[in-house]
Copies of this chain bind each other. A is one copy, B any other.
């Protein structure tokens, strides 16, 4: 195991952990002593029908939802709802390469799929909390992949679904982009096939990885209009070093690789022999599909094509010049738009 302060209770907490025991994975591996880390906000009511689930995105943890998305008077209101923020397996907080004991950790951590995350979260919600229905599942990017997986896998349990800037079946273009993210890390000789002594040794690869996010994670207009100035940076270089590189170099390279591999293969049509239409037809949830207009790798048209296959759904396009990474809360107006859509969705009969 390796120490990485970024994933500690001090940085990402408070969070709880649920013990999944020996958790067998879709791709054949098993995580022994598997821990699902989660944070809750608000209280579960007597009828246990006020629960909202928020799964995490690539590189994200449960903390960001507390910081940017949840609050009294907002859509995700902890005075009304019992909100469970789940850390996806491999994200560094739940069971992950760096915190899993030998022989199954670090470079030997097994492949995890979106379906594994959703099964793990299902066990937490049903066995630990006794929850049988979810008022809402909402998540961005890989959180949207998990949201779709939830709605397809457990259609009777999910009453409402709000996938933000993500798809039910990952595209070929997205697969290629994610591959460049992985290659940026694995091409660093310090990565050593996953057997580095500290994530800090791999900082050059992590910085290259951050640069690819700089290109695809925002929009051309984000740079044209120098939106980074308003975020407190003095130049593009300053923004790169002190925002994106600072963010990613704190993380565990193997955790990012585990998540990227999973992202590449997100696909609800695994349930229906590759038939996406059939898979999405299973969804019973009232669904708002929420792409971001300037997203470069989950473009509106890809999300809209999937939305058309979901019976009880609407397309709600979020506008932000920031592009995909606005999900981390960079633009108050994005959060305002999202809150409006989610309030409306939550007000609709289940």
Interface residues of A (CB under 8 A from B): 171-173, 175-177, 179-180, 183, 187-189, 204, 208, 211-212, 214-216, 218, 220-224, 226, 236, 240, 296-297, 299, 301-302
Q: Which residue of B lies closest to A220 (CB)?
A: B173
A169 to chain B, nearest CB (A): 11
Least CB distance from A126 to B in Å reads 37
**A187-B188, A189-B189, A296-B296 are known contacts. Are A224 and B302 too (CB-CB below 8 A)?**
yes
State A211–B177 Cα separation when bound (angstroms): 8
In the A-B complex, the 5 residue pairs with the smallest Cβ-Cβ separation, listed nearest first, are A172-B223, A173-B223, A173-B220, A177-B215, A176-B214
The reply to whether B208 and A183 contact each other, CB–CB distance below 8 Å, is yes
B180 and A211 contact, CB distance less than 8 A: yes
Is A176 touching B208 in the complex (CB atoms < 8 A)? no
Instruction: Specify which chain B residues have a CB less than 8 angstroms from the CB of A216 in the assembled complex.
Output: 215-216
Q: A187-B187, A189-B189 are in contact. Are A176 and B211 (CB under 8 A)?
A: yes
Residues of B within 8 A of A223 (CB): 171-173, 176
Query: Shortest Cβ distance from A180 into chain B, in angstroms?
Result: 5
In the complex formed, the residue of B with least CB distance to A218 is B173
Residue of B nearest to A235 (CB): B172
**Residues of chain B lying within 8 A (CB to CB) of residue A212:** 180, 212
How far is it, in angstroms, between the C-alpha of A216 and the C-alpha of B217 when the chains are bound?
Answer: 12
Q: Is the interface of A mostly helix, strand, loop or mixed?
A: helix
| A299: B residues at CB distance < 8 A | 220
Task: Give A193 Cβ to nearest chain B Cβ, in Å.
Answer: 15
CB-based contact B187/A208 at 8 Å: yes
A171 with B220: CB separation less than 8 A: yes
CA distance A171 to B171 in the complex (A): 28
Q: Which residue of B lies closest to A183 (CB)?
A: B208
Residue of B nearest to A299 (CB): B220
A301 to B321 alpha-carbon distance, docked (Å): 13
Which chain B residue has the least Cβ–Cβ distance from A226?
B172
**Nearest chain-B residue to A236 (Cβ)?**
B172
A240 proximity list for chain B (CB < 8 A): 176
B180 to A224, Cβ gap below 8 A? Answer: no
Cα of A218 to Cα of B297 in the assembled complex, Å: 12
* Bound: A171/B220 CA distance, A: 8
Measured between C-beta atoms, what is the minimum distance from A68 to chain B in Å? 25
CB distance from A256 to the nearest CB of B (A): 17
Contact present for B297 and A220 (CB under 8 Å): yes
Residue numbers in B under 8 Å from A177 (CB-CB)? 215
A162 to B: closest C-beta gap in Å:
22
Q: How far is the CB of A107 from chain B (nearest CB, A)?
A: 20
User: Could you tell me if B172 and A215 are in contact, using CB atoms closer than 8 angstroms?
Assistant: no
**Beyond A172-B236, A236-B172, is A211–B224 a contact (Cβ under 8 Å)?**
no
Query: For A226, what are the chain B residues with a Cβ–Cβ distance below 8 Å?
Result: 172
Known: A171-B224, A172-B236, A224-B302. 11 other contacts (CB 8 A): A171-B223, A172-B224, A172-B226, A176-B214, A177-B215, A179-B211, A180-B211, A180-B215, A183-B208, A187-B187, A215-B216
